[in-house]
Amino acid sequence: MKVMKEKITFRNRDVKRVLIGVPENHKHLRIIIESKDKLFVFHEATIANILRGFIFIKTHPKIEAIEMKIQEVKERKEGFAEYQLIETNKKKEDIIKEISELI
Tens digit of each residue's pLDDT (9 = 90 or more) over 19-37: 999 999 999 999 999 999 9
Task: Give residue-wise pLDDT tens across range 41-60.
Answer: 999 999 999 999 999 999 99
Handedness of CA 28, 21, 45, 56 (dihedral sign): negative
What is the average pLDDT value for the chain, to the nearest integer?
95
Q: Against a cut of 0.75, is the pTM above it?
A: yes
Residue ranges per structural domain of the chain: 12-102
Task: Give residue-wise pLDDT tens across range 68-83.
Answer: 999 999 999 998 889 9
Task: Tell which residue, 62, 63, 50, has the closest CA to residue 90.
Answer: 63
Task: Tell which residue, 37, 2, 30, 41, has the closest CA to residue 16.
Answer: 37
Burial 27-43 (b: 16+ CB within 10 A, else e): eeebeebeeeeeeeeee
Residue 97: other Cβ atoms inside 10 A: 12
Measured CA to CA, the distance from residue 39 to residue 18 in angstroms comes to 10
